[in-house]
Amino acid sequence: MADSSLPTNQVQLTLGEVMRATGGVLLGDPNASVRGVSTDSRADLSGALFVALVGERFDAHDFVEQARARGAVALLVEREVTCDLPTIRVPSTLGALGALGALRRRAWGGKVIAVAGSAGKTTTRAALSALLEAAEPGLVHYARGNFNNLIGVPLVLLSLGERERLAVVELGTNQRGEVATLTQMAAPDVGILTLIGYEHTEGLGDLDGVEAEEAALFAGVSVAIGNVDDERVARQLTRAAGRRVSYGKRADADYRLRVLGLSSRGSELEVTRRVAKREVTTSFRTSTLGDAGAYAACAALAAVETLLGRELPAATMQAAFASATASEAGRLCPVELTGGILLLDDTYNANPESVVSSLELARQLAEQRGVPLVLVLGEMRELGALSVGLHRQVGEAAAARRPALLITVGGDARALAEAAAERGVPGEFAEDSDAAAELLLARLQGPSVILVKASRGVHAEKVVSRLISAKGRAA
């Protein structure tokens, strides 16, 4: 299994192939070749093509000499540069990188499963990758980390290995048309849509805009797999042109999910489905937490059995899901601390649906342990004109879980605290995560379950690190 924190590649191309794929203008020998495509001027670029990306805060054209010094043998640029290497000039190096990713995907020729949705993508990707690897050892490609955008997806595709025949790709979005572009690039055989909810509405508009954006995945796949417990996903699944496979807790789901048990170490699940014209029910444990982990495992099972065309043994599922986890730092990671404190570190990102899901998990675990619930909830960003109203909705949801302590952090999270207070749960607002950490340590009393969740830009991981430093991990 390819498992790298940064997708690197050794793809071999001639400059003529690069020119034709990108529509660029070549200054150099079309028969000259490169080995590897990279966007990082600090990496070992021996024999590679360096792609000079341009962002809001950087312009990699300024680093072409550094790339040459690191071993690059050719450049992909969108403006003239002073460098004695062969260059291919294109209107957009970002678009050209995508074209090279698509070129590699077509040449590779294996099967791709793509995962999209407003929440649960990374958890589903992790479960899917583990199950595929357990079913087809050594043939599966995926990359850890957040490589789900117009830069990351091409790098994942470029790193597809010759011996690997199955790949898992995560597709994200924060602007109209991004899912469609990534779907066209990755050319997935199977598409999984996890949920349609409020995400990046600053760029996507309202919930209808999010639905239209995410639904583009189903337009480009032979097999559409959707969570039918989500009304909008269910609607889009009925519109998919190819084969349709549903999963969820609904009685009519093709892969019917039941949660049998829950703890801070994972969940006991049962999935019922029809395989070879007979109904099969399998029970297994997963190390991922809450509904997010349960739905991810169910989606993974639906995708793998559908793609491979066979029933997976219970032992394969158990082995895969016991080790599969998206609980990297900041992704609903449980941390047992001294003094009977369970910390749920969910600081990587946040939108309304994912916050409510994590709230319910935290409530259940607090109830199970018989300890108070403590919530540290930061601002959910990129929600545009809907932001205040959505923060108020989350505040109402937080109040319904009756936390003993509520701290909100940054910007529109003030509205979250106000809404909770109107429902009898007073919250304390902190301007930033440093202040929130001080409040938490000052107010915290005894054993508890503490959920810390916020958008990435809030830097709520500071709260987590301060709490761990102050209390210490349990032995």
Alpha carbons 132 and 351: distance in angstroms, whole number: 29
pLDDT at 220: 87
The string over 346-381, giving b where at least 16 C-beta atoms fall within 10 Å of a residue's C-beta and e elsewhere, is bbbbbbbbbbbbbbebbbbbbeebebbbbbbbbbbb
306 and 187 fall within a common domain: yes
CA distances from 216 to 177, 221, 239, 334, 456 (A): 8, 10, 11, 34, 26
Which among 319, 312, 375, 383 is positioned nearest to 346, based on CA atoms? 375
317 and 340 fall within a common domain: no
288 and 379 fall within a common domain: no
Is 295 a domain residue?
A: yes
**Could you list the pLDDT tens digit for every one of the 475 residues in the chain?**
444 456 889 999 999 999 999 999 999 999 999 999 999 999 999 999 999 999 989 999 999 999 999 999 999 999 999 999 999 999 999 999 999 999 999 999 999 999 999 988 989 999 999 999 999 999 999 887 789 999 999 999 999 999 999 999 999 998 899 999 999 999 999 999 999 988 877 778 889 999 999 999 999 899 999 999 999 999 999 999 999 999 999 999 999 999 999 988 889 999 999 887 889 999 999 988 889 899 999 999 999 999 999 999 999 999 999 876 645 678 889 999 999 999 999 999 999 999 999 999 999 999 999 999 999 999 999 999 999 999 999 999 999 999 999 999 999 999 999 999 999 999 999 999 999 999 999 999 999 999 999 999 999 999 999 999 999 999 8
* Domain boundary, last residue among 297, 323, 349: 323
pLDDT at 200: 79
CATH number of the domain where residue 364 is located? 3.90.190.20
Please report how the helices 290-308 and 352-369 are oriented relative to each other, as an axis angle in degrees rounded to 10.
110
Largest interatomic CA distance in the chain: 72
137 and 247 fall within a common domain: yes
133 and 258 fall within a common domain: yes
Is 289 a domain residue?
A: yes
* Domain boundary, last residue among 71, 96, 121: 96
126 and 233 fall within a common domain: yes
274 and 135 fall within a common domain: yes
CATH number of the domain where residue 51 is located? 3.40.1390.10
Helix (H, G, I), strand (E, B) or coil at 382: coil
Is 206 a domain residue?
A: yes
Which among 222, 174, 171 is positioned nearest to 194, based on CA atoms? 171
CA within 13 Å, CB half, 447: 11
153 and 301 fall within a common domain: yes
Is 225 a domain residue?
A: yes
Is 466 a domain residue?
A: yes
pLDDT at 3: 41
Helix (H, G, I), strand (E, B) or coil at 180: helix
76 and 140 fall within a common domain: no
CATH number of the domain where residue 154 is located? 3.40.1190.10
The pLDDT tens digits for 81-134 are: 999 999 999 999 999 999 999 999 999 999 999 999 998 898 999 999 999 999
pLDDT at 327: 52
Is 2 a domain residue?
A: no
Is 241 a domain residue?
A: yes
Domain extent, residue 380, equals: 333-471
Is 345 a domain residue?
A: yes
Total domains in the chain come to: 3
* Domain boundary, last residue among 44, 62, 96: 96
315 and 261 fall within a common domain: yes
80 and 129 fall within a common domain: no
Q: Residue 241 burial by CB count (10 A; 0-12/13-18/19+): exposed, middle or buried?
A: exposed
65 and 178 fall within a common domain: no
pLDDT at 4: 44
pTM of the predicted model, to two decimals? Answer: 0.91
